[in-house]
Amino acid sequence: MIKLGIIGTNWITEQFVNACDITKSFELTHVYSRTTQKAQQFIDDLKKTEIRVSTDLNEFFKSDDFDTVYIASPNGLHFGQAKLALENGKNVIVEKPSTSTVREFTILDDLAHENKLFLFEAARHIHEPIFKKIQEYVDDNRSELSGATISYMKYSSRYDAFKAGKLPNIFNPKFSGGALYDLGVYTIYDAVVLFGQPDKVGYTPEVLSSGIDGSGSLTLKYPDFDVNMLIGKTKNSYLQSEIYFNKKTLLMDSGGDITHIKLADENKNITTIPTQKSDNPMDSEASEFARIINENDQETYEKLLKYARIVNRILEQARTSAGLVFGADEEK
Ligand SMILES: NC(=O)c1ccc[n+]([C@@H]2O[C@H](COP(=O)([O-])OP(=O)(O)OC[C@H]3O[C@@H](n4cnc5c(N)ncnc54)[C@H](OP(=O)(O)O)[C@@H]3O)[C@@H](O)[C@H]2O)c1
CATH of domain 129-280: 3.30.360.10
Which residues contact residue 158 at a Cβ distance below 8 angstroms, ignoring those fewer than 6 apart? 168, 170, 171
Q: How far is CA 90 from CA 14, 127, 192, in A?
A: 20, 23, 28
Domain ranges of the chain: 2-125+284-312, 129-280
Ligand 1 atom with the smallest distance to the CA of 185 is 47
Q: Which pLDDT does position 282 carry in this prediction?
A: 98
Dist CA 242 CA 145 (whole Å): 11
* CA 10 to ligand 1: nearest atom: 43
Contact 234, 215 (CB under 8 A): yes
Confidence of residue 90 (pLDDT cuts 50, 70, 90): very high
What single-letter DSSP state applies at residue 124?
A: G
pLDDT tens per residue across span 248-303: 999 999 999 999 999 999 999 999 999 988 999 999 999 999 999 999 999 999 99
pLDDT tens per residue, range 110-161: 999 999 999 999 999 999 999 999 999 999 999 999 999 999 999 999 999 9
Nearest CA to ligand 1 atom 19: 10
Query: Would you say domain 2-125+284-312 falls under CATH 3.40.50.720?
Result: yes
Position 332 pLDDT exceeds 70: no
CA 75 to centroid of ligand 1, rounded, Å? 8
Q: Kindly report the average pLDDT of the chain as a whole number.
A: 97
The amino acid at residue 233 is: K
Gap from CA of 195 to ligand 1 centroid (Å): 30
| 54, 92, 94, 95: residue to mutate for ligand 1 pocket, most atoms within 8 A of CB | 95
Ligand 1 centre to CA of 147 (Å) is 34
For ligand 1, atom 42, which residue shows the shortest CA distance?
8
pLDDT score, position 302 = 98
Look at residues 309, 99, 318, 95 and name the one whose alpha carbon lies nearest to residue 192: 309
